[in-house]
Structure 1
Amino acid sequence: MVRVAYLFIFSNIFIIFTPDEQYYKRRKEINTVDRFLWNVSKVFRVSYWYLATRLGVKNTTALYLCIALLLCMIIMGIITHLVHWFFIFPSLGPSVFLVFYFPSSPMSSPKNTILGHLAGVFFGLASYKLWYFLGVGSHQNIILASSGLSMGVLGLFMIYTGILHPPAASTCLIASLGLIKGITPIIGMMASVVLVCLIGYVLNNLFGIEYPLWNNGEKVPLPKAKTVLGDVQELETDDHVESIAAKLAMRQKLDDED
């Protein structure tokens, strides 16, 4: 009787824990998903970090920069051919270079890139129109005065707003020389800048390089000026004590050098 009871219990346990058809079907689905994810993950082996550990940082940077610049300009060229707009202009080249060579720099962020070029167009056109209506003389005098004023004002704007993007100075110069006629080229130029930022966002993140959608939250540091008396650099701090300490440290360094 006891043997019968044991046999009954173990037979029920075997039935309960024996995998049924649904179990094998579910397990097959899991294996399929795992296999798919594993194969997809192989794609990310082309990431910048992975290649840098195999090829070295310099070689990887050169390879990535070559591929990214080539792809970006091919895309821009195709779009320009299709829409027949002013999508490629000289100052776009340095911006494309910065986006893929210094993607983590605040100067390469979409915020600084887009707003920098927009400011360059605005100050360049405003300066050209101002001198044109004032009638300072020949067209050569107008563009000379316009280029000087626009570049100076753009420099002030970039420093005090923190929107630093060096290629925008070229855009400002193009506008101040009177080479932009009408609103259509302006729309095309700004659309191309936005498109470059979108391409940079996709390609950089695809290769495992962080590139913000708008701004990375960092500020462009003020430049360090090397003088005959030593290095001069402003400390970005609101703490009065830290500011005094920085000045004392700089003075101490100068005294030691003397």
Structure 2
Amino acid sequence: MNNFLLAIFAGIGAALAIGVLAYSDAEVSSVVLIMAPFGATTVLVFGVPDSPLAQPKNVIFGHLITAFIGVFFTQLVGVTPLTLAIATGLAVSAMLLTKTTHPPAGANPLLIMLTGQSWLFLLTPVLVGAVVIVLVGKMMKRLQGTLVSS
């Protein structure tokens, strides 16, 4: 597949993943399924799917680990300029130490702390959203493989 088609295919995959999350978010009023870092996640998952940073383990656990740190600070430590900095630094270190580095997830502590999220945020949107993006990514990769081989 040439670069133009790969770029179009990546854009379609990103649109599908975010579309599924945004539509579901709009239809289920009591559940949040989308957050800004997922936009950057789709760049990696659909644009450079073979990158180590775009692998399912990195996407899912990178988001979960950094979100946990953000919620922990929000709920138990407090939000100040200093704790925003410390939480972000801890999130980066935690992803590197666990080999789950996913750059978009680096925004999670800031997002979570600045909006005062609770523990439920780890389930939705973080876990559910990351899993949906990974599943749509796998589907698109399989479809791309089918198109290339035919």
TM-score (norm 2): 0.86
Q: Equivalent residue for 1:109?
A: 55
**Alignment counterpart, residue 198 of structure 1, candidates 131, 135, 145:** 135
Q: Equivalent residue for 1:187?
A: 123
Contact 2:71-2:118 within 8 A present in 1 as well: no
**Alignment counterpart, residue 82 of structure 1, candidates 27, 36, 45:** 27
Contact 1:117-1:172 within 8 A present in 2 as well: no
Please give the secondary structure, in 2, of the residue aligned with 1:164. coil
Please give the secondary structure, in 2, of the residue aligned with 1:180. coil
Q: Equivalent residue for 2:70?
A: 124
Q: Equivalent residue for 2:88?
A: 151
1:191-249 deviations in whole A, cap 9, x for unaligned? 1111111111111111118xxxxxxxxxxxxxxxxxxxxxxxxxxxxxxxxxxxxxxxx
Distance 2:26 2:108 in 1: 22
Which residues of structure 2 form unaligned runs of 5+? none
Structure 1 residue ranges, 4+ long, deviating more than 6 angstroms after superposition:
none
Q: Mapping of 1:64-79 within 5 angstroms?
A: 64-79=9-24
- The alpha carbon displacement at 1:58 in A equals 2.1
Contact 1:72-1:199 within 8 A present in 2 as well: yes
- The alpha carbon displacement at 1:106 in A equals 1.5
- The alpha carbon displacement at 1:182 in A equals 5.0
1:57-84 deviations in whole A, cap 9, x for unaligned? 3212221122222222222222222222
When the two chains are superposed, the root-mean-square deviation of aligned CA atoms in Å is 1.8
Contact 2:16-2:136 within 8 A present in 1 as well: no
> Which residue identity does 1:112 align to in structure 2?
N
Between 1:72-81 and 1:106-115, the stretch displaced more is 72-81
Q: Equivalent residue for 1:165?
A: 102
Distance 2:102 2:92 in 1: 10
Tell me the percent identity.
25
Please give the secondary structure, in 2, of the residue aligned with 1:207. helix
Contact 1:128-1:143 within 8 A present in 2 as well: no
Distance 2:137 2:68 in 1: 24
Contact 2:74-2:117 within 8 A present in 1 as well: no
Please give the secondary structure, in 2, of the residue aligned with 1:172. helix
TM-score (norm 1): 0.52
> Which residue identity does 1:159 align to in structure 2?
L
The structure number with the bigger radius of gyration is: 1
Contact 1:124-1:146 within 8 A present in 2 as well: no
1:93-131 deviations in whole A, cap 9, x for unaligned? 111121101111121111111101111111112223343
Distance 1:125 1:97 in 2: 25
> Which residue identity does 1:64 align to in structure 2?
F
Q: Counting helix residues as a fraction of each chain, which structure ranks higher?
A: 2
Which residues of structure 1 form unaligned runs of 5+? 1-51, 133-141, 210-258
> Which residue identity does 1:62 align to in structure 2?
A
Distance 2:80 2:119 in 1: 17
- The alpha carbon displacement at 1:178 in A equals 4.3
